[in-house]
């Protein structure tokens, strides 16, 4: 199998039409189920075993939980014209990924599902004008439409799902 390109090495172009937004939302809705399926049969020791230079599976889950907090705040920025500085404060307040290492995996999966379902419910209420609204996201130094943000989050999810699959295979 091909090596996964590291997230920081990826380049993004945002050209999707608004009509793809419902599919992007469905992709986001499905991430918790896909994640739960991947880790369902992993022994607890595998969930906390950290590979050299990487995150253990629980840390991957913790990162996705943290990312959803940030994604919700970004959505606030689109919908409420919230100030970018408030996002920096949210990022600073997040739990360190390493702090998730010894948390119960089922609790992490439940929290991720809860957060993601709430995020998807918010996305489902948007109209086309909101989906096409564009703002600058200073923490990632990109300007994108809300439509693009939904696709970007899906790409981020898939990056971590691919890493989770790789980790599980390496631990077997």
CATH of the domain at 73: 1.20.120.450
For residue 29, the model assigns a pLDDT of: 98
Q: In a 10 Å sphere around its CB, with 0-12 CB exposed, 13-18 middle and 19+ buried, how is residue 120 labelled?
A: middle
Q: What is the pLDDT of residues 10-26, one digit of tens each?
A: 888 889 999 999 999 99
Q: What is the pLDDT of residues 127-136, one digit of tens each?
A: 999 999 998 8
Helix axes 21-39, 146-171, angle to 10 degrees: 20
Which has the closest alpha carbon to 44: 130, 171, 169, 161?
A: 171
pLDDT beyond 80 at 1: no
| Rounded distance between C-alpha atoms, residue 145 and residue 132, angstroms | 5
**Do residues 78 and 135 lie in contact, with contact meaning Cβ atoms separated by under 8 Å?**
yes
How many domains does one find in the chain?
A: 1
In a domain, 63, yes or no: yes
End-to-end CA gap in the chain: 17
Which has the closest alpha carbon to 103: 143, 140, 57?
A: 57
Q: What is the pLDDT of residues 118-160, one digit of tens each?
A: 999 999 999 999 999 998 887 778 889 999 999 999 999 999 9
In a domain, 87, yes or no: yes
Report the percent of the chain where pLDDT is more than 90.
Answer: 51
In a domain, 12, yes or no: no
In a domain, 8, yes or no: no
* Residue 51's pLDDT band (cuts 50, 70, 90): confident
Extended beta strands in the chain, E state: 134-137, 142-145
Domain span at 111: 27-36+55-171
pLDDT beyond 80 at 78: yes
| Rounded distance between C-alpha atoms, residue 2 and residue 134, angstroms | 34
What is the chain's Cα-based Rg?
16
In a domain, 1, yes or no: no
In a domain, 166, yes or no: yes
For residue 102, the model assigns a pLDDT of: 85
* Residue 65's pLDDT band (cuts 50, 70, 90): very high
In a domain, 121, yes or no: yes
Q: Show the CA angle centred on residue 26, arms to residues 20 and 27, nearest 5°.
A: 90
Q: For 84-93, what is the mean pLDDT?
A: 71
In a domain, 127, yes or no: yes
């Amino acid at each position: 199998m091909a090596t996964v390109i590291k997230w920081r090495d990826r380049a993004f172009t945002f050209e999707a039409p608004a009509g793809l937004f419902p599919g992007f939302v469905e992709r986001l809705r499905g991430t918790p189920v896909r994640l739960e399926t991947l880790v369902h049969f992993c022994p607890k020791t595998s969930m906390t075993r950290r590979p050299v230079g990487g995150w253990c599976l629980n840390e991957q889950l913790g990162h996705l939980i943290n990312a959803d907090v940030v994604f919700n705040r970004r959505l606030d920025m689109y919908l409420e014209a919230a100030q970018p500085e408030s996002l920096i404060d949210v990022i600073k307040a997040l739990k360190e990924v390493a702090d998730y290492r010894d948390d119960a995996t089922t609790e992490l999966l439940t929290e991720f599902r809860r957060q993601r379902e709430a995020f998807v419910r918010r996305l489902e209420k948007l109209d086309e004008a909101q989906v096409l609204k564009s703002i600058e996201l200073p923490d990632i130094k990109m300007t994108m439409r809300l439509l693009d943000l939904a696709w970007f989050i899906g790409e981020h999810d898939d990056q971590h799902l691919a890493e989770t699959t790789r980790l599980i295979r390496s631990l077997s």
